[in-house]
Structure 1
Amino acid sequence: MLEIRESQIEDIFATQLDEVKGLLSLKDNVSLIERQKILPSGNRLDLLFLSASNLILVELKAVKSEIKFCEQIIGYRDELVELQEKGKLPRLPLISYLACPIILGPHKDFCVKNDIIPIQYSPYELLKNYYFKVKAISKLITLKPSNHGLWDLHLLNRILYSIGSGTTIEKLTKPTELSRSTVRSYLRLSSELGLTKTRPKVTLTELGKEYVDNIERDKPINYISDIQTDIIKEYITTNPFGSPAIFGIYSAVETVFALSKNFYPVPLKEAIICFRYLTGKQSEWSGKAAKDAFIMYSNYCIDLGLLAKIDRDYYITPSGIRFILLLELNKSILFVNSL
């Protein structure tokens, strides 16, 4: 049983013009002239499109066909012809369509006799295609946390502070006392956080330079200053779909924030289960992999001051609450702009 408001299907028709072109089997591209066009009679026409050679009338329904729908289209078409004769619409051939999830045989015959093209569409396919075509959603779907084998974010410092002009991975192995493969893993993470580039040479980005410039030199090398945490947090909140590592960090905060409605503090066991679902890794991660991933990303969050941990329980910090609210705002803006 189909349960959806017709206006929501109409939204898809009005915004996904490639979908309309395919559904109506049109050769030319189409543009939307008007949605819910008010006709001289006061009736509203669902959708009016323009192609290179035709005006296209589409009456859209979210229920199975009825004869009265066909009769409506005949009336709407007559009114559009009158508007054409008065010079209020382009004088182009007018093609009429009735789009329904189910079109019954007699109604299909009635449409054909009255020069109306019946189109049977699948709401399921429309909704699924729309979901995957929205740019922000498509980007989010493909994002999944990466595991670079780095348990704490502050361990990046020894790499970042060793990068100079003409730096190569080989050169970084000596001052850091890390293997080539470990250096590569660390650089992949730092690059996902916008701090480094690895081609053609290993270099700091402008963000990376800002991070390094704000080192507190009287502190141990593994210390991340408040300014440095702010630099990374701002980058994450303004680039929520930027990389797998960014996704993993904010997903760990979202996990604790969401579960706090049910448990507070949030037990590690519950956080692992939620994190696994939230990151889209339910079918990919074993229990141990999910546990390791959450602990790793929650450690990053602790380094950034977004979460706190006492024993096996997690707390969201004041900075974490501000972070998640700002992040949701920026994500919403990106979603809205992609619709």
Structure 2
Amino acid sequence: MRPDGRFQVLKVLAVATALALPSVAAAGAVLEPKLSPSDNYGENFTFIGDLDGGTFIFVQLTVTNIGPGSRTGLCRTTVLTPGQKAWSAQAKVKTRDWRYDAESSTLKMGPCSARSADGATRVEVPLDGGRVLLEYAAPMTPQGQEGTEVEVGKDRYHHEVTLAFSALKATVKRPKGEDVVYTGGGYADHTRSTIAPAKLAKRWVRFRALRGGEKLVLLAREGQDGEYGPVYAWEEGATARSLEHFTLAREGVRERSSWTVELFADGSSAMVLRSTSLLQRSAPVEDLGAVLGGLVRSVVGSPVTYLHRAVLEREGKAPVTGLMEVTLEGDL
């Protein structure tokens, strides 16, 4: 297989585990994976930064049984900066090359690491001659919202926010580049699943307003059976608000797509989310081509994710800007 083909396979494994996102972890072990013998087991620790000047940073540490082998580790990052080419890097880590160190509260994933202790969180990803360092001004604290566990037969998916509204300092060194320091808002979550990714959801909507005066995170899922949940919006300083369902309207195709999401509570419209500009379209299974993509599609599905700048509108309140992700099981 060509090197770029291997990269795409790793990307599919990571995305599949993320989509196949036990009880809330104890605070002291928030970064400790809870392993499972299930072939569909996948566990993700995801870190996101929305930074001044429009830079977006994504980091994910993963443990999964999906694909060849078991307890495979994955470390990956993406940096999007206006006016610059996107930079992505990732590494597959053998079982013996990752571990959780309880004494230092650190998850070590090959060259990558995440640590939450002493009132702060630090994530470091040195890959392919580049480096991303995220320094959150708060420790990871699991926040499991109502309805964030999904069951399909005997298998389960669980989602918990671990950092919702933290100040963030990010240092980025692209390959052959110099360190660039950014500041802004940070978010992190933890997901664990034994549900096959292709069976977990028909579509997801995520919104994160991490900068500015009003901060908010939103998560909405429609299952393959047409049922909704979890669906909630959580404002900084308040308890999360459960919502009933959502509608998703689309204009355009592929990179020209734009989205309007209407979310409902108590039988009426509660808020509307509108995309304003596209940052990235990601379709890892599609990118593998017909033959290789067909081999993995039955297990991981064919997820396509659109990352946009967006605005959230609510009656009687000022609009809130942030990052919106729309993930579809297969693009139309």
Same fold (TM over 0.5): no
Structure with the higher fraction of residues in strand conformation: 2
Structure with the higher fraction of residues in helix conformation: 1
TM-score between both structures, scaled by the size of structure 1:
0.22
Which protein has greater RCO, CA pairs closer than 8 Å, 6+ apart? 2
Query: Which of structures 1 and 2 has the bigger CA Rg?
Result: 1
TM-score between both structures, scaled by the size of structure 2:
0.22
